[in-house]
Amino acid sequence: MNIRITGSGSYIPNKAVANIDFAKHQFLDDDGRPLPYSNEVVAEKFKSITGIEERRYADDDLLTSDIAFFAAQKAIEDAGIDPETLDYIILAHNFGNVKQGAIQTDVVPSIASRVKHSLRIKNPKCVAYDILFGCPGWVEGVIQARAFIMSGMAKRCLVIGAETLSRVVDPHDRDSMIYSDGAGASVIEATDYEGGILAHASASYTYDEAYFLFFGNSFNKEHDPNVRYIKMYGRKIYEFALNHVPQAMKDCLDKSGVAIDDVKKVLIHQANEKMDEAIIHRFFKLYGKTPPERVMPMSIHKLGNSSVATVPTLYDLLIKGQIENQQLSKGDVLIFASVGAGMNINAFVYKI
């Protein structure tokens, strides 16, 4: 049984927000004091580290469930399937539906249920549920879909990653410049074709690392202390990722039986260009190798970090030839990998 991605789709919001658009923000440190340099310097340092030039925000009238639906429609159309034949809809997110300007999240009903409703699927045996797994949520959803299919519980699943992070960021925190909105979706099913998912790995590090990403108060001490925003310990996350993600990727690749020289692309969570580059170099170093040119396609420069949406969106753009100087061919081996809140890590090896 070969379990493959038979269709993909993504929704990239229309609203582009460039680094210069943060020029009028009052950035503060965690003690509430103004940063000792201008926003122009902040933006310059930010770009040099993260690689982000701009990011996309959803229109004010759209919710996470809306953009998830748009991506799902495209994936279903790409796969050429009847949505009534889906056995599971697995939707990864972190904050549910947050209306523009609101301070509450809405997850009743679940985001997956709303997408199933929007798809007008009548089949009650199509089970729709949400998964909260930090940025690696879509990858974990694919791993779960594979398990359902391998066990005989399903034949066809729809896995979606969608998020509107722009609505949960502290405008006084320079880290807010990292986050963006977007959605990506994939149809996963058993086929007779060679390839598909060859191996996978997941891990949760919670003993010391659980709160590296968390919900916390604004850096502006005058803000309502009961309103929380996404916060992170960037240096700790960077060190954690470099210490654990390369080995997790190696364990997964070794389990697949594929040689490192046969890996065509690594699709890694688009969080920070410098961090991703360091992870890739350390991963190949574990095999005594240096990374081949263009082994790591990037979308972060123009799309930012859309959490669970980054990897499926990257795959959708890549498979459809929409990333400059990057292409895929039948038989290519890819590694999908992600790291994020929890702290969670996962990966799977995939042959096109």
Reference 267, options 187, 184, 158; nearest CA is 184
Q: Which residue has the higher pLDDT, 106 or 32?
A: 106
Domains and CATH numbers, the chain: 2-193 (3.40.47.10), 198-351 (3.40.47.10)
Q: How far apart are CA 132 and CA 337, in angstroms?
A: 17
Q: How far apart are CA 269 and CA 140, in angstroms?
A: 13
Asked whether the bond before 312 is cis by omega within 30 degrees of 0, the reply is no
Report the side by side order of strands in the sheet with 88-92.
Answer: 2-11, 181-191, 156-164, 88-92, 127-131
**Tens of pLDDT, residues 288-304:** 999 998 999 999 999 99
- Please say whether the beta carbons of 306 and 165 come within 8 A: yes
| Tokens 């796969």 sit on residue | 79
Q: What pLDDT does 280 receive?
A: 96
- Please say whether the beta carbons of 343 and 204 come within 8 A: yes
> Residue 35: pLDDT band by 50, 70, 90 thresholds?
confident
> What percentage of the chain carries pLDDT values higher than 90?
80
Q: Is this structure's pTM higher than 0.75?
A: yes
| 120 token code pair | 């007008």
- Please say whether the beta carbons of 305 and 270 come within 8 A: yes
Q: What pLDDT does 164 receive?
A: 97
> Residue 115: pLDDT band by 50, 70, 90 thresholds?
very high
**Tens of pLDDT, residues 223-272:** 888 889 999 998 999 999 999 999 999 999 999 999 999 999 999 999 88
Q: Is 156 exposed, middle or buried (0-12, 13-18, 19+ CB in 10 A)?
A: buried
Q: What pLDDT does 97 receive?
A: 97
